[in-house]
Amino acid sequence: MPRTVYFAQNQAAAGTLTGAPVTKRAEFIAAIPSAVSSNGLEANGLGHSVPITMIWTGSAGNIVGVVKGGITMTTASEAGGLFNTTVGGNVLLQATLDFYIDFATPISAFGCYGVDIGDTVPYEDVGSWSVSLRDTQGFEETLSVPHATPGSQGNLLFWGFIDTTKSYDRITLKNSNTAGMQYFGFDDFVVADANQVQPIYWPASCSAWPGGNAAR
């Protein structure tokens, strides 16, 4: 199939980076034939307002994404059930409304951790997360994220996709709670361009594959 979606959620994460989402993220990264990078927003730090620029390693230079919409930079200590997932880091995106990432170089793979998605404590209204993909021809489609609703406070999920036939210039992360009373957290974004998701073919005489997809 041209597009493969990767999803796992741990309702018992309790604000820690553990369980099936960690395994699923590793599976997602391993399925991309070329090396990719992860952006945990640590280079941006706190105090950055929208728009926020994010940078990844592409097949021919950097992939640059510009984030706009209903988000703020925050830390776990400021954000209730939200928590950082970058090892050694403390920054994440807090979203109360829809936000989007525009890519100067179109991408064919995208994934990130979602934290505290869909919980209703201590004062939040229920909300669900979906993802809209706009391809380079301008066609847009929305994919649901099958997370639990309501979810537990401090839960963790990973969602991502790889598409070997299409590229996308905008990814919109949508919050069904349009009143801004459902706080979602996002961290450790991984993207890849069209060349990075294509299979690498080695001559039959090669006795071993080069090592390492790790990103990463």
Domains of the chain: 3-197 (2.60.120)
CA 145 – CA 37 distance, rounded (Å): 23
Q: What is the chain's pLDDT, residue by residue, as a tens digit (216 residues)? A: 589 999 999 999 999 999 999 999 999 999 999 999 999 998 876 666 679 999 999 999 999 999 999 888 887 655 567 899 999 898 999 888 899 999 999 999 999 999 988 766 555 556 678 999 999 999 999 999 998 877 788 899 999 999 999 999 999 999 876 545 567 889 999 999 999 999 876 666 554 445 445 464
Instruction: Tell me the pTM.
Output: 0.88
CA 129 – CA 144 distance, rounded (Å): 7
Give the DSSP per-residue string, the chain. Answer: --EEEEEEEETT-TTSS-SHHHHHHHHHHHTSSS---EE-STTT-TTPPSSEEEEEEETTEEEEEEEEEEEEEEEGGGSTT----STT--EEEEEEEEEEEEEEEEESEEEEEEESTTB--SSPPP--EEEEEEETTS-EEEEE----SSB-TT-EEEEEEEESS--EEEEEEEES-TTS---EEEEEEEEE-HHHHSPPP--TT--SPPP-----
